[in-house]
Amino acid sequence: KAGVTQTPRYLIKTRGQQVTLSCSPISGHRSVSWYQQTPGQGLQFLFEYFSETQRNKGNFPGRFSGRQFSNSRSEMNVSTLELGDSALYLCASRGSGGAGGELFFGEGSRLTVL
């Protein structure tokens, strides 16, 4: 079974630009969540999607958005990039839609904002 795939792995943007990151979950997984990881803050929850519906959103500004498609693939978008958005963005999928299931993470997309 293929794992969680994130693209692109690395990208460099400048302030004010926007970026779209993609995540393909494990086949059959309908829950996809996104996390931002920085050295100072650790893993911070961005949002979670299940069957194309956003079920929960973390404490991030509206510049961060996401969506999920009918095939469970997910994208997240960050508009008007700021230097502080430089981070590793991790996508995780789960087989269970409820509590108690483990997260399967992708390798992440490393975003650098200059």
Piece of the chain touching another protein by CB under 8 A; list 14-22, 51-59, 68-76, 79-87: 51-59
Type of residue numbered 5: T
The reply on whether position 31 binds another protein by CB under 8 A is yes
Q: Which long-range contacts (CB under 8 A, 24 or more apart) does 97-100 make?
A: 97/30, 97/31, 97/50, 97/51
DSSP string, 37-48: EETTTEEEEEEE
Window of 14-22, 63-71, 79-87, 97-105 that interacts with another protein by CB under 8 A: 97-105
Among 11-19, 39-47, 60-68, 74-82, which window interacts with another protein (CB under 8 A)? 39-47
90 binds another protein (CB under 8 A): yes
CA distance 49 to 2: 20
Q: In the Cβ-directed half-sphere of 33, how many Cα atoms lie within 13 Å? A: 23
Return the residue of 71, 103, 112, 114 that touches another protein, per CB under 8 A: 103
Of positions 15, 96, 112, 114, contacts another protein by CB under 8 A: 96
DSSP state letter for 23: E
* CB of residue 80 to another protein, shortest distance in Å: 25
CA distance 11 to 86: 10
DSSP 8-class letter at 54: E
Which residues would be at the binding site for another protein (CB under 8 A)?
4, 31, 33, 35, 41-45, 48, 50, 55-56, 58, 90, 92, 94, 96-108, 110
